[in-house]
């Protein structure tokens, strides 16, 4: 699959088989995340790989849209470290780019994934901070559920020329 196909065919997958994800695949995905662009190349992120079922279950209890974690092989929590931020206010954009790279890398490896929003929902952030005992300078941004897909999704048509403008509105 070429890169354009990876972008156009990636879908949010919420049902997974019980097949394990290899350490090499996890490293490949995290490497892709760490190569995301960031403001002033500050790379203000940390990643928590969660593969213990009891922790995934706890997340599914506190996050209202995370029930698929009960089936997922693992999840990756993307966090921002404000001590690494050189340009105030950009960590969320930087972590969004890293999250997108996780999703695309997983799809390229034949894995399914879904982005679970944490930031900017205070209640979700607070629950994740408590669950993982995050230091004060670390902000949870997103969770990505990962596993081998146990569902397929259609490829929708999203290209819309009415949303394209050249040089002015």
Whether 50 shows a pLDDT value over 90: the answer reads yes
**Tens digit of each residue's pLDDT (9 = 90 or more) over 89-103:** 999 999 999 999 999
Q: How confident is the model at residue 80 (pLDDT cuts 50, 70, 90)?
A: very high
**Tens digit of each residue's pLDDT (9 = 90 or more) over 125-169:** 999 999 999 999 999 999 999 999 999 999 899 999 999 999 999
Mean pLDDT of 3-18: 97
Task: Report CA dihedral (128, 90, 147, 48) to the nearest 10 degrees.
Answer: -50
Mean pLDDT of 47-60: 98
DSSP 108-123: HTT-EEEEEE-TT-HH
Residues 75, 116: Cα–Cα separation, whole Å: 10
Buried b (16+ CB within 10 A) or exposed e, 68-105: bbebbbbbbbbbbbeeebeeeebbeebbbbbbbbbbbb
In a domain, 100, yes or no: yes
The phi-psi region of residue 42 (left if phi > 0; otherwise alpha if psi is between -120 and 50; otherwise beta) is: alpha
In a domain, 137, yes or no: yes
Give the domain range for residue 45.
24-151
Whether 1 shows a pLDDT value over 90: the answer reads no
Q: How confident is the model at residue 84 (pLDDT cuts 50, 70, 90)?
A: very high
Percent of the chain with pLDDT over 70: 100
Q: At what angle do helices 122-132 and 53-62 cross, to 10 degrees?
A: 150
CATH code for the domain in which residue 111 is found: 3.40.109.10
Residues 114, 110: Cα–Cα separation, whole Å: 13
Nearest to 89 by CA among 135, 134, 51, 38: 38
Give me the number of domains the chain comprises. Answer: 1
In a domain, 122, yes or no: yes
Q: Which helix (H) or strand (E) holds 96?
A: helix 91-108
In a domain, 8, yes or no: no
Mean pLDDT of 3-32: 97
């Amino acid at each position: 699959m070429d890169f354009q196909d990876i972008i156009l065919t990636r879908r949010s997958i919420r049902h997974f088989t019980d097949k394990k994800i290899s350490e090499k695949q996890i490293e490949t995905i995290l490497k892709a995340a760490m190569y995301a662009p960031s403001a002033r190349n500050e790379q203000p992120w940390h990643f928590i790989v969660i593969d213990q079922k009891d922790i995934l279950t706890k997340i599914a209890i506190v996050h209202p849209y995370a029930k698929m974690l009960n089936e997922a092989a693992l999840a990756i929590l993307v966090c921002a470290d404000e001590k690494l931020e050189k340009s105030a206010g950009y960590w969320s954009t930087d972590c969004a780019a890293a999250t997108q790279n996780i999703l695309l890398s997983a799809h390229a490896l034949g894995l399914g994934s879904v982005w679970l929003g944490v930031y900017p929902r205070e209640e979700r952030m607070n629950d994740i901070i408590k669950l993982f005992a995050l230091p004060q300078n670390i902000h949870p941004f997103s969770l990505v559920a990962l596993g081998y897909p146990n569902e397929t999704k259609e490829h929708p048509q999203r290209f819309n020329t009415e949303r394209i403008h050249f040089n002015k509105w």
